[in-house]
Structure 1
Amino acid sequence: MRLIDEIHLDYPFMGSRMIRDMLQRQGHQIGRRKVRRLMLLMGIHALYPKPNTSKPNLAHRIFPYLLKNMVIDHSNQVWCTDITYIPMAK
């Protein structure tokens, strides 16, 4: 556990596979699953860039909400549509 912690402090981006490879190069016989289990026990994990999924594009136009001041009190007063592109073979 001490060796895994030392490697993780030196190289925080390394996951269980790379740590296992480094330990095997140092002469220790250990498997990836054991390294992963010990990492979970110590509460350490590899640092990696997270996906940027919720960052809005600054050039994107914000459309006005046209129903803001409208009271909808009966059917067929407001309609909505959606155009979905479905690619098809020629």
Structure 2
Amino acid sequence: MSDVVEFLERMGRDAQLSRASVNELEHVMASTGLDLTLQDAILSEDSSTLKALLGIATHCAMLAPGEEQEEQEDEGGDETPEREDETSRSASSAWS
């Protein structure tokens, strides 16, 4: 798998290689020793076949805060403006 990843990274770094024709890519890949099925998947730009051959699976996860966390955030958010108001009042009364 690392050979495939290295080759794809090389394609991404090398502007000439990323714009190369299919024949040029075939010639370059022949020297890498990649499996022919992997080479075909790369040449045909078939990402689903490439993922299957490499055993890559897509995982998705989502995290959401619990109700207690949301309540604490709401309570914490209300305290901050009060403190700012008290500070403003103290500063304005000091100047009066």
Both proteins in one fold, TM over 0.5: no
TM-score (normalizing by structure 1)? 0.30
Bigger helix fraction:
2
TM-score (normalizing by structure 2)? 0.29
